Amino acid sequence: MTDAVVDAFADAADIKPRELSRGYTWAECPRWHHGALWFSDMYAHRIVRLDADGTPETVIDFSDRTSVNGTEVIPGGFGWLPDGRLIVTSMHERLVLAWDGRSLTVYADLRELATGPVNDMVVDADGRAYVSQLGFELFAGEEPKESLLIVVEPDGSARNLTELGGFWGANGVAITADGTKLVTAEAFANLITALDRDPTTGALSGRRVFAQTPSLPDGVCLDAEDGVWAGMPALPGLARFTDGGAVTDVIRFDATVAIPPACVLGGADRRTLYITAGLDVLDWEESRRNRRGSIWTAPVPVSGGESRP
Binding residues for substrate: 119, 137
Catalytic site residue from 218, 226, 249, 280: 218
- What is the rounded CA–CA span in Å between residue 67 and residue 181? 35
Residue 218 among the catalytic residues: yes
Contacts for 60 with CB less than 8 Å, ≥ 6 apart: 46, 47, 75, 86, 88, 99, 104
Can you tell me the distance from the alpha carbon of 109 to that of 96, in angstroms, rounded to the nearest whole number? 6
Binding residues: 28, 119, 137, 171, 218
What angle is formed at CA 300 by the lines to CA 294 and CA 305, rounded to 5 degrees? 100
In sequence order, the β-bridge partners of residue 181 are: 196
Which are the catalytic amino acids? 218
